[in-house]
Chain A
Amino acid sequence: MATIPRTDNWFLRRLNVQRRHWKAALLFVLPAFVMLLSITIYPLIRTLTLSFTKLELAVSPRETFVGLDNFVRVLTGDARFWNAMGNTAFLVVVGVALQVVLGMVLALLASEMRRGRTVWVTLFLIPIMIAPVVSGFQFRVIFNDTFGPLNYIIRQLSAGLISPPAWTATSGTALLTILITDLWQWTPFMMLLILAGLESQSQEIIEAARVDGASYWQTLWRVRIPLLLPVLIIGVLIRVMDTFKTFDLVVLLTAGGPGSSSETIAYYTYLNGFKFFSMGYTAAMAFIQLIVIIVVSRVFLSIQKRQRGAD
């Protein structure tokens, strides 16, 4: 039977012969290329050149070259920078881990329920697409110490024995309110991702494990979760990247306070650039973040590669 080979190579060879399609290929990609070049590469270079200069916009528009001074000052002389990095790391590690665990539990429960699936999955998904500004506002009301519903419920349940704190204005809990709001918003994403992953798993492999006498938990740990790894890696990578940028929730919930106890790195960078107007210093700080992001994503991609190789 004469089957047409459907590999890309075959297709490419066919098209490459016709020169005019090469022109089309480049022409099609040109607008996007020019746009991305001017909105990502040029700003990137500008950030880099800026990071070697001193530019205090509040004082004067003059840029003076200072070499690596900004980088040295950020990394060695700025305790607030490391505090913000620590807070961000807390949100990234603890927050995303909780989202994965809770998302996994909810997805496993949801996979047992089939009736009315579309309707309640839709309801679960609503938080995902809400602007973080709006979810920040919602939780600011909920966490309010005098009229918020949370503290009212705590006081009622404990019959007035516990006097709950002003969650967003206490240094021990301010960062936690950001974590919980993020958890609220993104656990449904993990749940949906894992649910979709679970349902695409071959029932035959799971049945085979059953027939061999594996219990529910053994099947889960030995078969289903390992099969989920590719999905989990992508989900965690996306959440880690986005949590690293946490900014909106900080503005709406705590404004970084009290003190700098809930400052994230994106928020502290914003303060330096747009409140103190130290542009050179901020550029150096932004560049360090970029390096962190590149390193983290490389690690994830290599894990993914190794995982793929193992299959």
Chain B
Amino acid sequence: MTHRNRPWVRLVVGIILAAALVFFLFPVVWMFLTTFKTQDQIFTTPPVLVPPAEQWNLNNYIAALTQSGGLQALRDSLIVSGSTALISVVVGSLAAYSLARYRTGGDQFAFWILSTRMFPPVASAIPLFLIFRDLKLLDTHWALIIANSIFTLPFAIWLLKGFIEDLPPELEESALIDGASAFQAFWHVTRPLIGPGVVTATLFTFVFTWNEFMFALLLTKNRVRPLTVMISSLAGGHEILWAQIAASGVIAIIPGVLLVVFLQRYIVRGLTMGALKY
């Protein structure tokens, strides 16, 4: 707004934005500070804002990982999220290529894929629970990988379809004329060019699965226990170890924060499944 560059306008705007930023960051900062507190310091009035310097150590993180089953939870979350992301992006990119270039199945098919995203997870949880029980898949990594794919696979297809449609088809066309097979054209021409799309789709599907809670709660018991389930069960226990849960929380938000920092350009595109390409 060129004509509204009066200094006091900028000052007021700056102050309001700063206040908003405090509101949006305070819970995260408070959680981070909590990880350095002792159990007593959590209950004192006035609350301890910044714990004393000598307490700035990793004790609560180590306790969260070793005593509360955090290491296993971290492993489970990594396996489930990594596999889900890998499967969704590999299967999804092939399907996206087919939809973008050959219009396979037409608009109807594309919209059917999109509509599966709207499926309320609680509606899929009941049949999946019964199916997995019969297949003896309950409480395994596979149960969560399959369940999460309900959302991540359509997500990857739609996002990558948009990225492929952005490329001019002439590139593959010339490869095809030179005698490449359709798969070779996809693999050698398209795949390297949609690198940003692949990275975006991988990180988003990873974080969605990493953050997912309902399937993780309903389809596992004790052999598999992702981070979100661990945090919720610790927070629902009788003696609540606030600092340890906070430490688990800080560990749990790392992938999401990395996504925001490194993929800022593609956040809108990712969150709207490619509907908006800013």
Q: A138-B28, A146-B43 are in contact. Are A21 and B102 (CB under 8 A)?
A: yes
Q: How far is the CA of A210 from the CA of B1 in the complex (A)?
A: 11
Instruction: Give the residues from 257 to 311 in chain A that come closer than 8 angstroms, CB to CB, to chain B.
Output: 266, 269-270, 273-274, 279, 282-283, 286-287, 289-290, 293-294, 297
Assuming the contacts A29-B95, A32-B94, A245-B121, asked whether A109 and B45 have C-beta atoms less than 8 A apart, the reply is: no
Whether A39 touches B17, Cβ cut-off 8 Å, given contacts A25-B102, A133-B231, A289-B120, is no
Q: Is the CB of B30 within 8 A of A124?
A: no
CB <8 Å contact, A184 and B27: yes
Distance of A28 Cα from B128 Cα, bound (Å): 26
What distance in Å separates the Cβ of B177 from its nearest Cβ neighbour in chain A? 10
User: Which bracket fits the contact residues of B?
Assistant: 35 or more
Residues of B within 8 A of A136 (CB): 232
Bound CA–CA A255/B111 (angstroms) = 35
A110-B17, A279-B126 given; A147·B211 CB < 8 A: no
In the complex, whether A52 has a CB less than 8 A from a CB of chain B is no
Looking at the assembled complex, report how far the CB atom of B76 sits from the nearest CB atom of chain A, in whole angstroms: 14
Do B257 and A126 have beta carbons less than 8 Å apart?
Answer: yes
Q: Are B232 and A43 within 8 A (Cβ)?
A: no
- CB of B261 within 8 Å of the partner chain: yes
Secondary structure dominating the interface of A: helix
Question: Does B260 interact with chain A (Cβ within 8 Å)?
Answer: yes
Interface hub of A18, A286, A290 (most chain B Cβ within 10 A): A286
Contact A24 B211 (CB under 8 A): no
Answer whether residue B74 sits at the interface, using C-beta atoms and an 8 A cutoff: no
Neighbouring A residues of B31 by C-beta, 8 Å: 134, 137-138, 141
Residues of B within 8 A of A184 (CB): 23-24, 27
Task: Say yes or no: A12 contacts B253, CB within 8 Å.
Answer: no
- Is A189 on the interface with B (CB-CB < 8 A)? yes
B residues near A167, Cβ cutoff 8 Å = none
B9 located at the interface, meaning its Cβ lies under 8 Å from any Cβ of chain A in the complex? yes
Q: Is residue B199 within 8 Å, beta carbon to beta carbon, of the partner chain?
A: no
A26, A137, A266: which contacts B249 (Cβ < 8 A)? A137
| Residue B91 lies at the interface, judged by CB distance under 8 Å to chain A | yes
CB of A270 within 8 A of CB of B214, answer: yes
B34 at the interface (CB under 8 A from A): yes
Query: In the complex, which of the residues B30, B91, B131, B257 contacts A138, with contact meaning CB atoms closer than 8 Å?
Result: B30
B150, CB-defined interface residue at 8 Å: yes
Cβ of B14 and Cβ of A12 under 8 Å apart? no
What 1/0 flags go to B25-69 for Cβ under 8 Å of A?
111101100100000001111110000000000000000000000
- Report the minimum CB–CB distance from A124 to chain B (whole Å): 6
Q: Which of A128, A141, A234 contacts B272 (CB 8 A)?
A: A234
Contact with A along B244-274 (1 / 0, CB 8 A): 0110010011011101110010011001100
Q: Is A71 an interface residue (CB 8 A)?
A: no
Question: B95–A283 contact, CB under 8 A?
Answer: no
Contact B118 A297 (CB under 8 A): yes
Query: Given A122-B261, A138-B31, A269-B122: A36 and B249 within 8 A (CB)?
Result: no
Contact check, A113 vs B14: say whether CB atoms are below 8 A apart. yes
A204 at the binding interface (Cβ < 8 Å) = no
Q: In the assembled complex, how far is the CB of residue B276 from the closest CB belonging to chain A, in whole angstroms? A: 6
* Cβ–Cβ < 8 Å partners of A42 in chain B: 127, 131
Is B218 in contact with A270, judged by CB distance below 8 angstroms? yes
Q: Is A231's beta carbon under 8 Å from chain B? A: yes
Contact check, A35 vs B102: say whether CB atoms are below 8 A apart: no
Among the interface residues B43, B126, B212, B236, which one has the most CB atoms of the partner chain A within 10 A?
B126
Contact of B126 among A32, A135, A248, A282 (CB under 8 A): A282
Q: Which of B46, B97, B102, B257 has the most CB of A within 10 A?
A: B102
Q: Does B75 contact A (CB under 8 A)?
A: no
A154 at the interface (CB under 8 A from B): no
Q: Select one of A22, A28, A110 contacting B186, CB under 8 A.
A: A28
Q: Contacts A128-B271, A193-B268, A290-B120 known; A50 to B105 CB distance under 8 Å?
A: no
Cβ of B188 within 8 Å of any chain A Cβ, yes or no, is: no
Residues of chain B within 8 A (CB-CB) of A245 are 120-122
A125 closest partner in B (C-beta): B260
Does B130 sit within 8 A of A, measured CB to CB? Answer: yes
**Can you show 9 pairs from A to B with CB atoms below 8 A apart?**
A21-B176, A32-B153, A112-B10, A122-B264, A123-B24, A128-B256, A137-B245, A244-B120, A290-B120
